[in-house]
């Protein structure tokens, strides 16, 4: 008997993974978290509330932000109550691993070492960081940053990555938050700011008189919902959830509300 080449290829790919011991098998998981959520009638979602527009507070002091909106949508679609678990940037992964939350909706970048420690859903957002400066300063390459003062928010992924890109002779100025990086630029304390593309867009809308341009791309990464390793039922649920809410436009609406821009290409389901 012979087999069709396409059939053989199909069998090879489809059957891969049947008996493989893997990373998920090594992780210690607290049982089936999706089932636990169903039975408890509540989902605990870890959110980072010091990072607007992903997570912060509204005028009435209630948690707000794009990731908070997704957490609320998730609980609604699961048909369970929502308990927001506040986490800091540094403890996001630990909060999951210590089982303090069931799902993380905290703009966790899908990069190493996170990808080896938690399981991600499909991505639902992208972060683009840039080196921004007034138009009088012409930055054509990273080398042009030499001798300049570069403001960046301490403790952020954007700062960590941008700092590693700086050429010798440049001066990194660490600010307490992303808003202060732009402030430093406006006050003349810095020549260049490491900031987000959406932040510059917001600034242009709020203060058209201020002229700061994104001059060099720094980094770009996607983020998704995260779960503990070894929770494939929950992970599959999250992917179906994002798929359906991507299709019906809800994710695009959330993105438009918090970032004043369409969902980035590649994250859309249609």
| Interface with another protein (CB under 8 A) | 1, 3, 6-25, 32, 34-35, 38, 77-79, 119, 122, 230, 232-233, 236-237, 239-241, 243-244, 248, 269-270
Phi, psi of 135 (to 5 degrees): -65, -20
Provide, rounded to whole angstroms, the least separation between the CB of residue 224 and another protein. 12
Quick one: 18 exposed, middle or buried, by C-beta within 10 A (0-12, 13-18, 19+)? exposed
By beta-carbon proximity to another protein, the closer residue of 12 and 164 is: 12
In terms of CB distance, is 15 or 164 closer to another protein? 15
In the bound complex, what is the minimum distance in angstroms from residue 22's beta carbon to another protein?
5
Q: Which one, 56 or 224, has the nearer CB to another protein?
A: 224
Nearer to another protein, 19 or 141 (CB): 19
Q: At its nearest, how many Å lie between another protein and the CB of residue 110?
A: 14
Nearer to another protein, 140 or 270 (CB): 270
- State in angstroms the smallest separation of the CB of 4 from another protein: 9
Residue nearer to another protein on the CB measure, 51 or 105: 105
Compute the half-sphere exposure of residue 16: CA atoms within 13 Å on the CB side of its CA.
5
Minimum CB distance to another protein, residue 126 (Å): 17
Find out whether 49 and 61 touch, Cβ atoms under 8 Å: no
Residue 82 CB, nearest distance to another protein (Å)? 14
């Amino acid at each position: 008997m012979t087999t069709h080449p396409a059939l053989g290829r199909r069998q090879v790919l489809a059957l891969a993974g049947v008996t493989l011991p893997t990373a998920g098998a090594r992780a210690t998981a607290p049982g089936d978290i999706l089932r636990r959520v169903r039975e408890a009638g509540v989902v605990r979602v870890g959110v980072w509330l010091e990072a607007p527009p992903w997570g912060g507070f509204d005028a009435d002091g209630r948690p707000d932000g794009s990731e908070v909106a997704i957490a609320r949508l998730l609980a609604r679609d699961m048909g369970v109550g929502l308990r927001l678990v506040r986490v800091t940037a540094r403890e996001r992964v630990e909060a999951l691993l210590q089982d303090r939350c069931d799902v993380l909706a905290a703009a966790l970048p899908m990069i190493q070492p996170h990808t080896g420690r938690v399981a991600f859903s499909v991505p639902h957002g992208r972060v683009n960081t840039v080196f921004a400066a007034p138009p009088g300063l012409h930055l054509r390459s990273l080398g042009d940053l030499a001798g300049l003062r570069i403001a960046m928010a301490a403790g952020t992924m954007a700062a960590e990555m941008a700092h590693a890109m700086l050429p010798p002779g440049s001066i990194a100025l660490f600010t307490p938050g992303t808003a202060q990086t732009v402030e430093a630029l406006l006050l003349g304390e810095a020549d260049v700011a490491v900031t987000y593309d959406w932040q510059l867009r917001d600034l242009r809308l709020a203060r058209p008189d201020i002229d700061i341009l994104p001059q060099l791309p720094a980094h770009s990464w996607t983020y998704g919902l995260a779960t503990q390793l070894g929770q494939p039922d929950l992970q599959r649920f999250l992917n179906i959830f994002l798929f359906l809410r991507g299709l019906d436009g809800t994710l695009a609406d959330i993105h438009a509300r918090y970032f004043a821009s369409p969902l980035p290409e590649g994250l859309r389901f249609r």
